[in-house]
Structure 1
């Protein structure tokens, strides 16, 4: 069983904070004073405001590193003036060789001006280095524009009111494969703006932890926009990301405690040629506003994926979210996909059967316990190679029009014990809930088109629920606390009514009925 500790903590939202300072040996920087000690923030007890579905995963992840703005002072900064093809500084921690500026000591450095060259950090392994970009423009035609070769923790702070830019043409085959590349932990903070362009590979990349805790950041990258190999955490800031590959990525494959992406706050608007968010282990969203448009998965993780807060909108995707263990526990999630909307898959590598993956329960889980989830899928709406369990929340699924997929699709059965579920889709592969579901449900063969009104009434004619369809459909599955098994209900579509008995599958779906598992 994996045992991991929680990553980067949020002091405003998570309780039980423990700061474990890691001593840093300060080196002389001329006019700059030594940098403050870096710190790793950990949590003993996760705040109860975070739903358990996500808190469990957070408590299992490895520590992340962040350099907070209160750990250093801009008053201590040594000034580095960028002057076209060269630069100048009075600091003993700065050397200039042609168009290459090298920082060799711990400390705070304020960069201003324009440089057609590179800024390189080669500080001691235990050094904390803070680069304050204050009206800085750094461009290079080869390699990284800002490269951290050695240091313990590095921060890039965007000075208040400043506009900064970094551009490069890095190579995926090079040691430094991003416009901003750090072989260390890297934090981006501040309230200024930063535009990063890399026409060769990644935008901002760290081989350890990458934390974004502030700033207005625009990245346009040939491959990945933001990549933290050990972890990628976004706590605050306004991010506009354009990526030929993944927009946000963590890909540490050697440690099950790392390789995660955590979105805790901020605003993210991302367009990706591959995945919007991609993690080797877990993806966790507990806050913020995330808007994604992708050519492949909107959000993909190999292990677990939890949405427990914030607002997530995936306006374009092949599959909107995919993982072996998917947990929706809070927030507002709006998904649009050309194939599956929510796909719990990946525990096994077998392929085949109806639409791939076979028909056996292979252990994947899709659990919905809270929040609002709306799915508009060209393929299956909610799909699990294992089970689907709904215990709370508001779930609305507008499923496929084609008959080879269904609004609901599971290999291990669907159970509902709380919340509200409506699934409107085609009839060919339509699936109903398990008879063992504690909450009442109904299923009806009822046809309509985009704009049709679907109304559900009890025996007294009281309207229990009403929905507006987004596309052509032939089946309706509904479950809420207002439904009682064995009772009669009426499903009306544009004035045409169908009487159904709660807990009884409609005729015509998969296997001669709507796939009720017995």
Structure 2
């Protein structure tokens, strides 16, 4: 009777307030508050210790007197507040009679919403065994305002709605979600992660969210997932850290993932990074830091990744991969795994289609056996940006699918198709045995016509190793700075290439190697430039120095039409220019070749004169000068090394027909310009007059020079 009198008194005292408010709130003793629109409330009836609310066109809700603590009045709101606690969950539901029903079952809050408006659910508090679960016909907002939910037998957040969910992380708050290792039976409902949604997930706000996925994924959307802001950390996941079926897009905020499987998995969709910071730690074998079947695109932001599992990948996509801007730092330490006689490598970036790099800063470090920096089954196209890759893992042998002993080795940049590098900065360093800098099964193209071109620095320091056989039949895996099976064509750019160990070659093509322009500084142990079928040089500034083999070696023909080309081979039988007695054509440019011997230009294929000069010995740093009868310098060159016996090949348009010339050795030089010992515009003070010659033929031979090159007059 007292409660009835109290409620009646409240109603009488609040008549004036009611007129100014939109809702009456029923505060229940079970800590659930329900709101009723005053505009639909006809009356309240007190019958037999019960309170009946009479609403327009709705069933009359009934409360027992013991259920109601109090009544209050306030404004209408689309916000539903849920305060979690192990001692009881407090809920304020102003939409209880407008389409949002809420029940609580042992810490599990279950919501069914049919309302047409966008409702905001605000979660706070801590519960040690509970859940937030919702069914909603419309999109809604989920605000995490310092909530900590642990669920022993299911997801912490379970959204059984295919509509868009905007997740707000309140600034200054820390929110934690933890699921169980085993889930209770859910019938036909999906529950794929600690934070699961059937619909789209959009994260906003400046708060922090920590998710521990013990059963499967950390965060999972069966639609798409977008991060605009916020600090999201997946502290651990039994499967993927973040998984979305349609796509994952990160425009801002911070995402940190540690997982037993993939870090970010876009499934059959795409992944796009436009801003923010992504940090991923991956330790398991055969997993991916970032993975999608669609296209991976990066337009900004940062990616920092550590990958330590064998045959694991940093970024893996089945479709194209595009990097337009942003920063990528990937460190891999995993090793190769041979599965069914097929090696699978730990790789920084792996793409099944084409890789496009137009900008950004990419740094990849690989320390595992046969590790790869960037590897693509399709083409690799670099038109800008800064790409730095270092591999230090050694190579090894395995038995391939044809039951033949084969080899693998670390490679900074590998394409099963073509590689086109038109601009940007590319720095490759491989220190493991038989390591490669840039390798393509198709063609390699550098630069573009009338363009500045890329800056390329490629270094290998690892030794070759024996794969099979012995003696003359031995098969070695050799280090290579730049190599391709198809044509290698360079239009422009600046190149610094170093290969310090036996077998190390600078630029190698198994077909035709063509240089049309650019600046090249190549120092190797083996051939600096090598081609199986033809070397063609039409321009550029080219310096090739081999400490153990030829400067420039073509197993087919050798053609020079322009440029300044300096090729220094080692002692006999190695040569500055070597084309195995095939046609050696010179129609322009400046050629300087030194070695124990030299191929001889083919007179019938030349329109520019050459001189072959042999000396019984030569000393590093000594000058060789050629001048005409008027004392005009035609050629001044400082020797890059000493020789027991030396053959020098010089060709220039300055060598005129039927003209007398004098060769000086020693002396001094001042002024002018110097390109690796070749001086132009300098003042030469003569040393010792060595010999004279007359250019009475296309190729003039002085001394007993001539090697395994093209034959004069042939």
Query: Residues 438-477 of structure 1, C-alpha deviation per residue, up to 9 Å, x if partnerless?
Result: 226768674179xxxx9xxxxxxxxx8999x9xx998878
Query: What is the correspondence of 1:46-195 to structure 2 with a 5 Å cutoff?
Result: 76-84=78-86, 86-91=88-93, 92=96, 93=100, 94-105=102-113, 106-115=118-127, 116-124=129-137, 127-169=138-180, 175-195=190-210
Match status 1:387 vs 2:389: no
Match for residue 324 of structure 2 among 285, 308, 329: 308
Tell me by how many angstroms 1:242 deviates: 0.4
Match for residue 489 of structure 1 among 543, 548, 554: 543
Q: Secondary structure at the match of 2:442?
A: coil
Give the Cα separation in 1 of the matches to 2:158 and 2:567. Answer: 64
Match status 1:320 vs 2:348: yes
Tell me by how many angstroms 1:485 deviates: 3.6
Q: Secondary structure at the match of 2:272?
A: strand
Query: What is the correspondence of 1:342-421 to structure 2 with a 5 Å cutoff?
Result: 342-345=374-377, 364-377=378-391, 378=393, 379-403=410-434, 405-417=435-447, 418-421=453-456
Give the Cα separation in 2 of the matches to 1:260 and 1:503. Answer: 49
Query: Residues 239-273 of structure 1, C-alpha deviation per residue, up to 9 Å, x if partnerless?
Result: 22101111111112xxxxxx111111111111013
Give the Cα separation in 1 of the matches to 2:497 and 2:252. Answer: 45
- Relative to 1, partners in 2 of residues 1:367 and 1:506: Cα closer, same or farther, differing over 3 Å? farther
Match for residue 225 of structure 1 among 224, 227, 241: 241
Give the Cα separation in 1 of the matches to 2:108 and 2:273. Answer: 35
Give the Cα separation in 1 of the matches to 2:275 and 2:82. Answer: 32
Hey, what does 2:274 align to over in structure 1?
A: 264
The alignment's TM-score, normalised by the length of structure 1, stands at 0.68
Q: Is the 8 A contact 2:291 2:316 kept in 1?
A: yes
The alignment's TM-score, normalised by the length of structure 2, stands at 0.50
Q: Is the 8 A contact 2:158 2:195 kept in 1?
A: yes
Give the Cα separation in 1 of the matches to 2:429 and 2:77. Answer: 56
Tell me by how many angstroms 1:166 deviates: 0.5
The count of corresponding residues between Structure 1 and Structure 2 is: 393
Give the Cα separation in 2 of the matches to 1:401 and 1:308. Answer: 30
Hey, what does 1:204 align to over in structure 2?
A: 219
Give the Cα separation in 1 of the matches to 2:527 and 2:79. Answer: 66
Give the Cα separation in 1 of the matches to 2:204 and 2:431. Answer: 43
Q: Is the 8 A contact 2:303 2:329 kept in 1?
A: yes
Hey, what does 1:447 align to over in structure 2?
A: 500
Give the Cα separation in 1 of the matches to 2:566 and 2:386. Answer: 24
Give the Cα separation in 1 of the matches to 2:237 and 2:259. Answer: 5
Return the index of the structure with the highest Cα Rg.
2
Q: Is the 8 A contact 2:457 2:496 kept in 1?
A: no
Give the Cα separation in 2 of the matches to 1:487 and 1:311. Answer: 33
Ranges in structure 2 where 5+ consecutive residues have no aligned partner: 1-32, 38-75, 334-345, 394-409, 448-452, 465-477, 507-518, 530-536, 553-563, 580-714
Give the Cα separation in 2 of the matches to 1:475 and 1:237. Answer: 50
Hey, what does 1:277 align to over in structure 2?
A: 290
Q: Secondary structure at the match of 1:161?
A: coil
Give the Cα separation in 2 of the matches to 1:475 and 1:232. Answer: 47
Q: Is the 8 A contact 1:443 1:502 kept in 2?
A: no
Q: Is the 8 A contact 1:373 1:395 kept in 2?
A: yes
Q: Is the 8 A contact 2:459 2:497 kept in 1?
A: no
- Relative to 1, partners in 2 of residues 1:192 and 1:441: Cα closer, same or farther, differing over 3 Å? closer
Match status 1:422 vs 2:453: no
- Relative to 1, partners in 2 of residues 1:465 and 1:216: Cα closer, same or farther, differing over 3 Å? farther
Hey, what does 2:299 align to over in structure 1?
A: 286
Higher relative contact order (CA 8 A, sep 6+): 1
Tell me by how many angstroms 1:380 deviates: 1.2
Q: Secondary structure at the match of 1:84?
A: coil
Give the Cα separation in 1 of the matches to 2:78 and 2:226. Answer: 23
Q: For the aligned residues, what is the CA RMSD? A: 3.8
Query: Residues 13-66 of structure 1, C-alpha deviation per residue, up to 9 Å, x if partnerless?
Result: xxxxxxxxxxxxxxxx96699xxxxxxxxxxxxxxxxxxxxxxxxxxxxxxxxx
Give the Cα separation in 2 of the matches to 1:475 and 1:399. Answer: 18
Tell me by how many angstroms 1:169 deviates: 2.2
Query: Residues 191-215 of structure 1, C-alpha deviation per residue, up to 9 Å, x if partnerless?
Result: 1111111222210000100111111
- Relative to 1, partners in 2 of residues 1:329 and 1:171: Cα closer, same or farther, differing over 3 Å? farther
Give the Cα separation in 2 of the matches to 1:111 and 1:476. Answer: 67
Query: Residues 70-104 of structure 1, C-alpha deviation per residue, up to 9 Å, x if partnerless?
Result: xxxx9742211112264231312232222110122
- Relative to 1, partners in 2 of residues 1:301 and 1:488: Cα closer, same or farther, differing over 3 Å? closer
- Relative to 1, partners in 2 of residues 1:489 and 1:503: Cα closer, same or farther, differing over 3 Å? closer
Q: Is the 8 A contact 1:442 1:505 kept in 2?
A: no
Q: Is the 8 A contact 1:211 1:232 kept in 2?
A: yes
Give the Cα separation in 2 of the matches to 1:119 and 1:262. Answer: 29
- Relative to 1, partners in 2 of residues 1:31 and 1:239: Cα closer, same or farther, differing over 3 Å? farther
Hey, what does 1:70 align to over in structure 2?
A: none
Match status 1:334 vs 2:371: no
- Relative to 1, partners in 2 of residues 1:442 and 1:149: Cα closer, same or farther, differing over 3 Å? closer
Q: Secondary structure at the match of 2:171?
A: coil
Q: Is the 8 A contact 2:528 2:544 kept in 1?
A: no
